[in-house]
């Protein structure tokens, strides 16, 4: 038995699956901006739902990305609780130049390989754009698990691209979702920056 709201969404180019995924995604990202540990279990539900949605839409790189997100969410859950000194909760920090160099090199390699592979799959949509956003998103997500402040700057850039890509694919509710992510990414950067400044002030006093 179908629900009237689901039927309405389907008639307007969306689905209940997309709607529920969007809700959990927004809740998860908002909790991340607050450094709330519940961002990770809600993220697990979110990525599971989006994995099914992207598979149906032919966005294979993003489908695989959700699987990796699932693993990273489990890792991030652990790191936020025990990743600090002496297995304490991890604190916000800045990304070092060495880390930037490593993730930058990895990004170029993974983007090239992923774009080449997915471009040869039947039904693939925007293979190199999809591969680029997938690669950079993975880096940003890993940085979030380590509470590196600059992860939010990367998310801001990626979310702008995602909004355009999902509009192109006709996933309007998901595009709206990423528009909200964009706003939350700005909020997350400002909030985490204040958290870092508080930590720095406490350490110097």
Residue 183: per-residue pLDDT: 96
178-188 pLDDT, tens per residue? 899 999 999 99
Confidence (pTM) = 0.84
Q: Are 127 and 115 in contact (CB under 8 A)?
A: yes
- How many angstroms separate the CA atoms of 111 and 128, rounded? 8
Region at 92 (left for phi over 0; alpha for psi -120 to 50; beta for the rest): beta
Please report how the helices 151-168 and 127-145 are oriented relative to each other, as an axis angle in degrees rounded to 10.
150
Query: Comparing 137 with 190, which gets the higher pLDDT?
Result: 190
| Mean pLDDT of the residues in the chain | 87
3-state class (DSSP) for residue 93: strand
Q: Are 139 and 155 in contact (CB under 8 A)?
A: no
3-state class (DSSP) for residue 45: helix
Radius of gyration for the chain, computed over Cα atoms and rounded to the nearest angstrom: 18
Q: What is the DSSP letter of 83?
A: -
122-151 pLDDT, tens per residue? 777 778 888 888 889 889 999 999 999 999
Residue 1: per-residue pLDDT: 47
Which two structure tokens, joined as six digits, stand for 7?
Answer: 């039927």
Residue spans per domain, the chain: 4-204
Q: Are 1 and 22 in contact (CB under 8 A)?
A: no
A 10 A CB-CB count for 12 gives 10
Residue 105: per-residue pLDDT: 95
Helix segments in the chain, DSSP class H: 4-11, 16-33, 39-57, 60-82, 97-118, 127-145, 151-168, 172-204
Query: Comparing 148 with 173, which gets the higher pLDDT?
Result: 148
- Rounded to 5 degrees, φ, ψ at 170 are 80, 10
């Amino acid at each position: 038995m179908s629900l009237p709201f689901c039927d309405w969404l389907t008639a307007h180019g969306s689905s209940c699956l997309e709607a529920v995924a969007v809700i959990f995604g927004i809740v998860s990202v908002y909790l991340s901006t607050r450094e709330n540990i519940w961002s990770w279990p809600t993220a697990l539900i979110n990525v599971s739902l989006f994995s099914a949605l992207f598979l149906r839409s032919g966005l294979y790189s993003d489908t695989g990305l959700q699987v990796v997100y699932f693993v990273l969410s489990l890792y991030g859950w652990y790191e936020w609780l025990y990743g600090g000194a002496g297995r304490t909760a991890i604190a916000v920090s800045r990304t070092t130049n060495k880390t930037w160099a490593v993730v930058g090199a990895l990004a170029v390699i993974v983007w090239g390989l992923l774009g080449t592979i997915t471009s040869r799959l039947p039904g693939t949509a925007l293979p190199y754009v999809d591969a680029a956003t997938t690669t950079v998103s993975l880096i940003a997500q890993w940085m979030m698990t380590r509470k590196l402040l600059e992860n939010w700057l990367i998310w801001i850039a990626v979310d702008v691209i995602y909004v355009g890509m999902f509009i192109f694919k006709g996933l309007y509710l998901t595009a709206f979702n990423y528009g909200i992510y964009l706003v939350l990414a700005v909020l997350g950067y400002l909030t985490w920056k204040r958290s870092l400044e508080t930590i720095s002030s406490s350490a110097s006093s």
